[in-house]
């Protein structure tokens, strides 16, 4: 499994590199450098704004209010994105790290997993609407492009799959998964005597109040739209501005591609090829499209690496404090 993921990642990186070489590394480099540090800083500011919106959407799912809730969910969302982007070769790394961090700050294991699962679900649901919005813009401006109809077909399939996943959440899938270790004669580490903090119970608590997942999805949709401003600002600094609607269409299709190609770590090669193909529909030259993709990856490193380093420092501190706390008890 790990070997297969690594091979897929290597193929993706090789494809992206080949694309840069084919188009011209100098031209791509010039397009990348045109934005400069000011452009990268502006992109980061837009990204962090979208993180705040995502934090509010995640907090809306917390049935039991958490102390310093908005600050906690801001940190955990930033950590989740950072782990997902930097440690993409480990499937589900972002979600696992985020759920673990929530438990460190006092949330029960079941509630932490439940809110994470439902938040990811609502984020993908909102992405479907975001992609639909982008498709509407694309069809309006490029009514004869085959890409729009292929994307629409993928959207329908994705919507059906997401509906099935939501039904599975409500029908006891996680209750079955929770009981599986006991069925196999193992011990489930999250079992509690009354079961009140189980994953399934946590999911049921969230869906019992429909306003919670609806608010979560709505805030995520706003975050997707705000997040498109990252590419819009980047193109402006690069000297190739586009209308925000055009950029929104490009970004919605790129993120749809990344979601479909989730098995490819970092969407290596997929993102680069997507920007070239989709960007061409809106007048972006290949070198500018690749430069934009590289800027997006640079921003991921700029925010992701420091966040993971801070998290590792916190984990080390907790590890060192644990023996002392055990002795004091």
Burial (CB count <10 Å: 0-12, 13-18, 19+), residue 146: exposed
Q: Is the confidence at residue 192, as pLDDT, over 50?
A: no
Q: What is the pLDDT of residues 36-87, one digit of tens each?
A: 889 999 999 999 999 999 999 999 998 887 777 789 999 999 999 999 888 8
Number of domains in the chain: 1
Q: Is the confidence at residue 33, as pLDDT, over 90?
A: no
Give the pLDDT score at 160. 72
Q: What is the pLDDT of residues 3-17, one digit of tens each?
A: 655 566 555 556 556
Give the pLDDT score at 203. 85
Give the pLDDT score at 310. 95
Q: What is the pLDDT of residues 99-114, one digit of tens each?
A: 999 999 888 888 898 8
Nearest residue to 232 (alpha-carbon basis) of 223, 224, 220, 241: 241
Domain that holds residue 205: 2-328
H or E segment at 69? helix 69-86
Give the pLDDT score at 8. 60
Mean pLDDT computed over every residue of the chain: 79
Over its C-alpha atoms, the chain yields an Rg (Å, rounded) of 21
C-alpha to C-alpha distance for 325 and 318, rounded to whole angstroms: 10
C-alpha to C-alpha distance for 149 and 18, rounded to whole angstroms: 28
68: left (phi over 0), alpha (psi -120 to 50) or beta: left
Give the pLDDT score at 66. 74
Percent share of the chain, pLDDT over 90: 33
pTM beyond 0.75? yes
Q: What is the pLDDT of residues 160-185, one digit of tens each?
A: 766 766 666 656 555 544 443 344 34
The residue ranking higher by pLDDT, 252 or 89, is: 252
Q: Is the confidence at residue 147, as pLDDT, over 80?
A: no
Tell me if 63 sits within 8 A of 206, measured CB to CB. Answer: yes
Average pLDDT (284-297) is 89
């Amino acid at each position: 499994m790990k070997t297969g993921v690594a091979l897929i990642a290597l193929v993706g990186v090789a494809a992206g590199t080949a694309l840069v070489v084919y188009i011209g590394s100098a031209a791509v480099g010039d397009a990348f450098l045109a934005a400069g540090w000011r452009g990268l800083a502006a992109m980061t500011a837009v990204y962090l704004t979208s993180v705040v919106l995502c934090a509010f959407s995640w907090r809306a799912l917390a049935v039991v209010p958490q102390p310093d809730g908005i600050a906690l969910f801001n940190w955990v969302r930033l950590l989740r994105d950072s782990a997902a982007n930097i440690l993409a070769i480990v499937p589900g790394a972002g979600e696992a790290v985020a759920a673990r961090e929530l438990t460190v700050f006092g949330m029960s294991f079941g509630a932490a997993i439940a809110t994470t699962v439902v938040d990811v679900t609502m984020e993908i649901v909102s992405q479907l609407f975001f992609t639909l919005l982008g498709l509407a813009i694309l069809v309006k401006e490029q009514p004869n492009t085959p890409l729009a109809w292929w994307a629409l077909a993928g959207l329908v399939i994705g919507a059906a799959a997401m509906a099935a996943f939501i039904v599975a959440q409500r029908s006891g899938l996680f209750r079955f998964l929770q009981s599986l270790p006991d069925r196999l004669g193992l011990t489930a580490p999250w079992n509690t005597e009354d079961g009140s903090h189980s994953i399934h119970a946590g999911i049921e608590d969230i869906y019992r109040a429909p306003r919670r997942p609806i608010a979560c999805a709505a805030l995520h949709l706003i975050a997707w739209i705000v997040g498109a401003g990252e590419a819009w600002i980047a193109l402006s600094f690069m000297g190739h501005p586009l209308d925000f609607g055009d950029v929104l269409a490009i970004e919605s299709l790129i993120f749809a591609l990344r979601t479909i190609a989730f098995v490819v770590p970092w969407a290596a090669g997929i993102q680069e090829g997507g920007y070239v193909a989709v960007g061409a529909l809106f007048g972006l030259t290949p070198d500018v499209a690749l430069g934009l993709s590289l800027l997006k990856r640079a921003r991921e490193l700029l925010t992701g690496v420091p966040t993971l380093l801070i998290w590792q420092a916190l984990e080390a501190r907790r590890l060192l404090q644990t023996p002392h706390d055990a002795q004091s008890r």
